[in-house]
Structure 1
Amino acid sequence: MTHRRLAIGLHWSILMLALVMVKGGIRVARALANGMLCKPGPKLTWVLRTVSRWVHRATHTVLAVTVVLNGTALVGAVPHDTGWAALLVLLAVGSFHGLYLFWRHNVLFDGALRVMTPRFMHKIL
């Protein structure tokens, strides 16, 4: 599997990933946190290019922490509100990630959305 197909699959299956997290998918979050780092866009300035990798790692860390908090909430070690709050934070981080990619695609014209969408949708973008 190529990195492109993996990125497409991850971006389009985030709802399924959220459901897996709620059910205690700690292994999935560990795999996401340890890998799957894409290259920054070619048209980003040097500051954004440097920051991009660290923000991507932080996003994966938020995903892993959300899984851990939801797993401990399901076991009963922490209150259930903790897991729900973590999911809301993950939703906010994911929304900002989507807005950033939308900005890159429409302002920088670097095809950021084409990288992660299936080929049959490229005509729409």
Structure 2
Amino acid sequence: MRRKATIALHWLTLVLLILLVAGGPIPVIAWAFALSGLTMCLLALAQGLMNGPGPKLEGAMRSAHPWLSRAMYAALGIVTALTAWSQLGGTWSGPSLPDLYFYLMSASSLHAIFHLWRHTALGDGALHRMTPTSTHKLL
């Protein structure tokens, strides 16, 4: 159940982030993004991260992997919390939500490139971890 929930939240949050980058903080999308992202972060806090460096990742990248994962979750948590705060009428003096969505999308793109590299160059099945089982034969 945890794996399915994490996978669903992962992809839902990505789609909602893309919509927010394209259209700005539209209330219904902003709330869905905030709830899905915060739920994903809370699930990881309560039950730990499901990812790992895999046996073929070595050296500095193997050491950095858990910290990069934590950083991605922290960024997601901050942006989704600020999105919820904004929807509740809160304000802050930092970057605008559209800027934060762009930064998070940029970090997400690097995250995706890294996992595509792992899956193809290292052949460690990294994409199998975060894709639904029904898509594994396509990978």
TM-score tier by shorter-chain length is 0.7 to 0.9
**Are the counterparts in 2 of residues 42 and 110 from structure 1 also a CA contact under 8 Å?**
yes
Which residue is 2:111 aligned to?
Answer: 97
Q: Please report the RMSD computed on the Cα atoms of aligned residues, expressed in angstroms.
A: 2.8
**Are the counterparts in 2 of residues 8 and 117 from structure 1 also a CA contact under 8 Å?**
yes
How many residues matched?
A: 124
Match for residue 28 of structure 1 among 27, 39, 50: 39
Match for residue 73 of structure 2 among 53, 57, 60: 60
The alignment status of 1:114 with 2:122, answered yes or no, reads no
Q: Compared with structure 1, are the counterparts of its residues 31 and 109 closer, same or farther at alpha carbon in structure 2 (3 Å cutoff)?
A: same
SS of residue paired to 2:110: helix
Q: Which amino acid aligns with 1:69?
A: L
Q: Give distance in 2, aligned partners of 1:90 and 1:33.
A: 18
Match for residue 78 of structure 1 among 72, 79, 92: 92
- TM-score (normalizing by structure 1): 0.79
Q: Compared with structure 1, are the counterparts of its residues 123 and 37 closer, same or farther at alpha carbon in structure 2 (3 Å cutoff)?
A: closer
SS of residue paired to 1:12: helix
Identical-residue share of aligned pairs (%): 33
**Are the counterparts in 2 of residues 37 and 53 from structure 1 also a CA contact under 8 Å?**
no
Give the CA deviation at 1:11.
Answer: 3.1
**Are the counterparts in 1 of residues 79 and 100 from structure 2 also a CA contact under 8 Å?**
yes
- Gapped regions of structure 1 (runs ≥ 5): none
The alignment status of 1:9 with 2:15, answered yes or no, reads no
